[in-house]
Structure 1
Amino acid sequence: MAAPTIQHFKAMTRVLRYIKGTPGQGLHYPSSSTLQIKGFSDADWVTCPDTRKSISGYCMFLGDSLVSWKSKKQTTVSRSSSESEYRALAIASCEVQWLTYLLQDFKANSKTPALLYCDNNSARYIAANPVYHERTKHIEIDCHITRERLQNNLFHLLPISTHDQVADILTKALEPIPFGYLLGKLGVINIYSPA
């Protein structure tokens, strides 16, 4: 906002064109859904060309319904894609914990731990393996909260292919076909589209 350029103007007009072209698009919440929390965590390493900070993103589902999502630039520069993904996992694990506590307050406890999906093998390995510590000293202590929550069985950390990673929509600029595919996985439908 401080120093807009032609590229910023083009990006703004592209977003406005998309919004104008999809007035009937919105989230669909099915009436029959489980109380299973499913989360998708992702990061795009060194995305910002000015600061080289990464973008974290997560999507949280209650059954098949999208209930929470966030995309945010990370506060520090990550030295590796694993560190960037691990920071995103830490943020997503906080959201899983909050949603779990919220369900408990509503007396709607899930019988199974939440599922958290991550498409980065090394970030999942760091979270699951405390012996890997020597190679991860550059990651801040607060990021190790993910490992603590994983060990406390708050969630199961599962792999997912990059193709099916729905949090990609919050961290990367996607082509129209993958963008539309991921919108459908998020539960976004267009009420004006032909059935």
Structure 2
Amino acid sequence: MGYTQSMTDHSMFINSSEGSFTALLVYVDDIILAGNDKEEIARIKQALNHTFKIKDLGDLRYFLGLEVARSKEGIMVNQMKYALELLTDTSLLACKPASTPIDNHEKISSSGGIPFIDIQAYRRLIGRLMYLTNTRPDITFSVQQLSQFLVKPTISHYTTTIRILRYIKGAPSLGFFFSSNTFAHLKAFCHSDWDTRSDSRQSVTGFSVYLGNSLIS
């Protein structure tokens, strides 16, 4: 139907011509349509409905745990409901918030420490935090550090994970804001430390890419 599969994301299909751009994103039986051509969007929805009998839910508000709010100023994307469910499931909804996701003076290591018995619970918790990093880059480094100990976590690792949850409690609605008043100018920043991983002596690299003032990667 005129759509080309993206080489960088095989779940996304693009229809682009002069002055018209439409993107179709698929996850199992959920679909997001976005673009600047209302006639094309109406055409593809009609074609999909003819084949699959789809249900049009209107403007995007919720998708796979992502909450979307639109205004004249731009688009806000967060995972507040997901974050609150995570705090509820771990009985931390009423906990005292932490000001940072991790103690910068604490050295996380695989050596020493009392083993944490419920390994599966630790893995599930790290997995759920990984999904939250879709809209919370502020916890990405902390989660990345703790995800290296899924085989033999210690009580110290679990305690540090709880600190991340306490940090999330402080502002569960944080997320990305994509401004409608910004310039289409790409900016990229990167940084790395120097072999600070005490176990492997490897460096950790981080990067951020902005479209105007909006963080996109």
TMscore range, shorter length: 0.3 to 0.5
Q: Could you state the TM-score of these two structures normalised by the residue count of structure 2?
A: 0.30
**Structure of greater relative contact order (alpha carbons < 8 Å, 6+ residues apart):** 1
Q: Could you state the TM-score of these two structures normalised by the residue count of structure 1?
A: 0.34
